[in-house]
Every structure is written in structure tokens, then in C-alpha cells.
Amino acid sequence: LTASAVLDRAFVVGPVRPRTFGTFVEHLGRCVYQGVYEPTHPTADEAGFRTDVLELVRELGTSTVRYPGGNFVSGYRWEDGVGPVGQRPARLDLAWHSTDPNTFGVDEFMAWAKKAGVEPMMAINLGTRGVQEALDLLEYCNVPGGSHFADMRRANGAEDPYRIKMWCLGNEMDGPWQIGHKTAHEYGRLAAETARAMRMIDPDLELVACGSSNAHMPTFGEWEATVLREAYEHVDYISAHAYYYEDDGDLASFLASAVDMDYFVDSVAATADYVRAARKQSKRVHISFDEWNVWYQRRAESRPPTGDDWPVAPVLLEDRYNVADAVVVGNLLISLLRHTDRVHAASLAQLVNVIAPIMTESSAGTAGRAWRQTTFHPFSLTARHATGEVLQPAVTAPPVSTARFGDVPAVDLVATREPETGEAALFVVNRSTTEPVGLEVDVRSLGSARLVEALTLSNLDHTWQASADDATSVLPRPNGTAALADGGLSVELPPVSWTVVRLA
């Protein structure tokens, strides 16, 4: 099969936004405890943070980290997680049927975020709590001192305010599984009033209202419209969440998951713009795609404990990712980048152990290693090489037929370019399950003099998974077929593959 594309430096969608490369740390399973935080681990620093994990987080290149949930946040009392550790109460976490020892809380997270070099994105509980508790947490985090909660933070060792900019007004409040689930109208009112009050403390916050938990919720569309009719003036973003998995061996549809993400983003942007018009507003509400990933929700590891079993840090949602999963993650990033005009922030869910690119063994009874899943690589390479502006290519590609989405183009790609230096990167997937595709791209307008590097992630067996023992047999490898001549870039794309090509 062959495919062609034309790239022009004038086809600019918008800037590459660092916040596109956010991730997520939830009090869920072994994400916090035994993931980012394990005081007994040999690599733990004085604060109990695993430095082996911190190194991988930096290598991953994540920009923002959303915290502390997720479903967890809808029952969370943030006050439980601050102050002397010995005096903090253990609490039942109803969302994941676990016990939270609260030895890691807001102050630990902020200290960890500083060490990791990431921007925090704080979520507040609008499930069991409301306006007052959101204000208390905001005061604790962002007010310099002289009032009760600000002074409490200082007494707890953080003299300077954290000045957290981005705040999520609850989590997935459209979902019947959510503690304190609300109708769109109820939630829209609460989000508006919470946002209005929070801005009385700090008018410059960036606030995210909950959109739908996925594009297939029965209330999708109406939820966004109703929430924004209530809260449009008070918020900056509406959230989107989406998880994909290979269903019943339907690899072709799975590889086309980005078609669903494209539809989701386009639909939410259109709905937000409809409310903008109806409410005669000039500002635009953008999208925070603050949960996205591959997640095999039907696997046993995704099911929380039951009955009287309320464990601390159980193994939950510890999906092992294969090569096809990594190709889909790479393609979802392509979708997020091509929507950089509307998606202004995004979070891969999650960061460590729980549907995560980084996995750890605990130091109890194992070697205590930290390792990279297959999905780590397209994320880190895209985060590293997508800089400057996003360019939308015109692509002609043969169709592959899928049960879920009909015919979709076998090749999907997006490019980025630094206007000053002319350095460019193309991110490409071949979604054919069987056929290699020869891709020719007209890059004359970019004026590139040389091919810097072409790396491809693929494997004859696309079900290959990394593990603690072997995380390196299948890595993105130099693609020797890539060539640049007379303004034409050519490259062979193996079936089920993700590729980055860099030009200078």
C-alpha cells in the first residue's frame, strides 16, 4: 500500500501546548502508595519519594499532573492528608473500596511535583462536599498567610503559597458511579457557584468544569450544553475523558480509536461554541482532555475489592500494555495535537502502576524495580520532539475497514515545526493490521536540509508486552527506510506501527 501527504508551513493549527503532555496521579491502587511514594524503598529520598520513579517521570516528559482523583476525589477530605503524619486518620475510600492511610496528601504531592518539575492540576471534591471546602483548600494552597488555612499550611512547613493555577471542579459528575453524582443542572449550578467564589480569592485561576465521562454516555452533548449554560462565564475549560481497548479481538477498530477521540473533541467544541453564541459571550471555553488512555476495564485487575476487604494500596487497574496499545496511545496524541486549537490541556491517565506508562515493583519481597511500559515511548518521544507549532498535513491514504468506524485512512499523521529554527517532527501511525504502507510526504515548504532521525515502534508480534524482566526487546528503533530527497520524504511504515521522523 502507498500513501501520500503534503505538509506546508502555512498549515498552522496553533501552538504546541506543553500542557498536552499532562498525566494523572490518583489515590488509587498502587499509584501513590508503592508508586510515587514508598518510604521503605531503597531509592526513597528523605520525603519517602521513590527517586527511581522520579527519574522515569522526568524522562517521560510530562508537564502537568492532575491530583488526587479521579473517582477518589469525590469522597476525599483533604484535611485528613495534612499535618503531622502520625496524627492523620486512615479513611475508607469508597470509590476503590480501599483504605487510605493519608500518609501522602496535598503537601507531599506539592513537594513531589516540585521535585518532578511538573505543574500541579488540583481537583476538588464536589461529590460529598461543596463551595466551602473548595475555598478552604484554595486558601490552604494559594493564600500567603494571615488566615486560618494559609497559616495551617505554613505551620505544616510550606512557608510560601503554592499558587496552583489549574483546578478541576469535581470529577465525572455525570457518571452514576460517582459519589455524589448529580444531574447536569445540579452540577452546573454547583460548578458555577464554586468557581465564582474561588475567583473571589484568586481571579486568575484556570477552572475546569466536568464534561462527559465519555462520548457514549446517554447524556453526552446535553450534559455539556446544560453545564455550560449555567457556568460558561465562570470557567475556562470543559473536561473530556476517554478510554479505549481492543474489544473481542477487534484490532482494526481498536487501532482506529483516534477517530472516536476526533469526534469527541469536535462535538464538545461545537457544543461549547453553541453555548457561547446563545449566551452572547466573546470568550471561548476550551477542552481539558484530562483523562485518556488505553484501559482494559473488563479485566479482573480493574475490579475493586468487596465486602469487609478494604486493603491499603491493592493491585488495581495494573494493565500491561502491548505494542498495539502503544500505537494507539501514539495515535491519540496525534489527535490531541491536531486539535491544539481547542484542546488546551490533557492528562494521560495515569502515571504510575494504575493504567500507567511507568510500573513499579514494591520493595517488599521483590527486586523493587521501576520499568517502562510500551506506551511510555510514544508519549516521551512526542513530548520531547513536538515543539513550536502544530501543522495539519493534507493526507491521501488507502482505507482500512473497521467494524466500529467504517473505512478509516490507514495512515494518520500530524507534524510540528519550530518557526525560528525550522526543526520539524512528523508523528505517524500505520493502522493497517497486515499491510506495510509506503508513505511519501511533500515537505518542500518546510525547507528542511536533512533527516535527523526516524524511529519506529512495531513488532512482528504486536501483542508483545514489556515487563520488569524485559522492558527493552521492543523499543522504537531507527527506521532505515526513511529518506529525504528533493523536498520529498519517504518512509516505509510496518503494519501496526508508530513512527516519529525528525527534520532540520
Binding ligand AHR (rule: CB under 6 A), the pick from 29, 48, 68, 69 is: 69
- Encoded one letter per residue, x for contact with ligand AHR by CB under 6 A and - for no contact, window 70-89 reads xx------------------
CA–CA separation, 191 and 208 (whole Å): 9
Binding segment for ligand AHR (CB under 6 A), chosen from 41-49, 68-76, 85-93, 186-194, is 68-76
Question: 319-358 mask for ligand AHR (x: CB under 6 A)?
Answer: ------------------------------xx--------
The residue ranges of DSSP E strands in 384-458, in sequence order, are: 389-391, 394-396, 399-402, 406-409, 411-417, 424-430, 437-442, 451-457
Q: Which 266-295 positions form the footprint of ligand AHR (CB under 6 A)? A: 291
SS (H, E, C) 37-49: ECCCCCCECCCCE
Residue 95, C-alpha cell as written in the block = 470509590
Give the C-alpha separation, 504 to 492, whole Å. 20
Residue 93 as a binder of ligand AHR (CB under 6 A): the answer is no
Q: Does residue 172 belong to the site contacting ligand AHR (CB under 6 A)?
A: yes
The minimum distance between CB 125 and ligand AHR, in angstroms, equals 13
Contact call for residue 171 and ligand AHR (CB under 6 A): yes
Applying CB under 6 A, the span of 69-77, 157-165, 394-402, 447-455 interacting with ligand AHR comes to 69-77
Listed in sequence order, the residues at least 6 apart from 48 whose beta carbon sits closer than 8 Å to its beta carbon are 37, 38, 39, 103, 104, 108
Residue nearest to ligand AHR (CB): 70
Using the contact rule CB under 6 A, the part of the chain among 64-72, 251-259, 307-315, 487-495 near ligand AHR is 64-72
291, 389, 423, 492: the catalytic one is 291
- The C-alpha R_g of the chain, in whole angstroms, comes to 23
Which residue in the set 5, 7, 26, 327 belongs to the binding site for ligand AHR (CB under 6 A)? 26
Spell out, one character per residue from 208 to 247, where the chain touches ligand AHR: x when CB under 6 A holds, - when not.
Answer: -----x----------------------------------
The catalytically annotated residue of 26, 108, 172, 246 is 172
Instruction: Report the residue number, 31 or 466, with the smaller CB distance to ligand AHR.
Output: 31
The interface region with ligand AHR, picked from 41-49, 65-73, 424-432, 470-478 by CB under 6 A, is 65-73
Contacts of 255 (CB under 8 A, 6+ apart): 324, 327, 328, 331, 400, 402, 429, 431, 433, 496
DSSP state of 304: P
Cα gap 235→27, rounded to integer Å: 26
Helix, strand, coil share of the chain (percent; to 5) = 30, 25, 45
Catalytic annotation present for 291: yes
Q: Cell 512482528 appears where?
A: 460
Nearer to ligand AHR, 142 or 350 (CB): 350
Q: Is 389 known to be catalytic?
A: no
* Phi and psi, residue 260, nearest 5°: -70, -40
Residue with cell 487510605: 100
174 binds ligand AHR (CB under 6 A): no
Q: Answer yes or no whether residue 22 interacts with ligand AHR by CB under 6 A.
A: no
Rounded-to-integer distance, Cα 226 and Cα 308, Å: 39
Binding site for ligand AHR (CB under 6 A): 26, 69-71, 171-172, 213, 291, 349-350
Q: Which residues are catalytic?
A: 172, 291
